[in-house]
């Protein structure tokens, strides 16, 4: 498969970079919504990461007429009964990643049990109605303060023992090798490879 264009149902530069790096191996060019000339903002009223990813992928596909890929991801903290979960991107009604991180740390202020996981569901919606989905998880613990300048979102407070660092302190290659989105993307890459063998996509 070569020169196939997908629309990413997002303008998030971090997500776009990660998806481009992994899907380029299949000859897939990934464009942001802005680059595709669309402004899809569907209501994410699903109850799971997978449902929301499908909603976003289908909306971008319908708006562009091209295959669309979407990610719905977030952080789930054991001590907070899985919160913020699917509400990670709008946690505490905060306006920036930094504010959301600060809000989460405040809610964990007196908590010693700091286990958490990142969860990512990726959906690809094709104009013929077919939908593929995958799920990836990444386990770690929350730090008491942000550390590191790389990554985005909650990366600066997500510590991984295998690195001895947070996800905001590792390289893009290291992060992609273990991250929830990296795992979901590699699983999607395998699904797409099989899908392309069985279907002709123009």
Cβ atoms within 10 Å, residue 113:
11
The CA distance from 149 to 105, in Å, is 18
78 catalytic? Reply is no
Q: Which of 125, 143, 124 is nearest to 134 (CA)?
A: 124
Edge-first strand listing for the sheet containing 115-125 = 28-31, 4-8, 68-77, 115-125, 131-142, 158-160, 165-166
Q: Which of 45, 72, 130, 155 is catalytic?
A: 72
Q: Tokens 């809610």, residue? A: 107
Active site residues: 72
């Amino acid at each position: 498969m070569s020169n196939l264009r997908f629309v990413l149902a997002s303008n998030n530069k971090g997500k776009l970079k990660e998806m481009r790096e992994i899907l380029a191996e299949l000859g897939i060019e990934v464009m942001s919504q802005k680059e595709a000339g669309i402004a899809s903002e569907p209501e994410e009223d699903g109850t799971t990461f997978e449902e929301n990813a499908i909603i976003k992928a289908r909306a971008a596909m319908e708006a562009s007429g091209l295959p669309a890929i979407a990610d719905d991801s977030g952080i789930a903290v054991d001590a907070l009964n899985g919160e913020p979960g699917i509400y990670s991107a709008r946690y505490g009604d905060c306006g920036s990643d930094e504010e959301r991180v600060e809000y989460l740390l405040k809610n964990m202020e007196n908590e010693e049990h700091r286990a958490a996981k990142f969860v990512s569901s990726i959906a690809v919606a094709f104009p013929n109605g077919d939908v593929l989905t995958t799920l990836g998880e990444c386990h770690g613990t929350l730090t008491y303060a942000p550390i590191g300048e790389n990554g985005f979102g909650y990366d600066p407070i997500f510590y991984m023992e295998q690195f001895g660092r947070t996800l905001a302190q590792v390289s893009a290659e290291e992060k992609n090798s273990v991250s929830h989105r990296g795992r979901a993307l590699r699983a999607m890459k395998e699904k797409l490879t099989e899908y392309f063998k069985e279907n002709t996509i123009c």
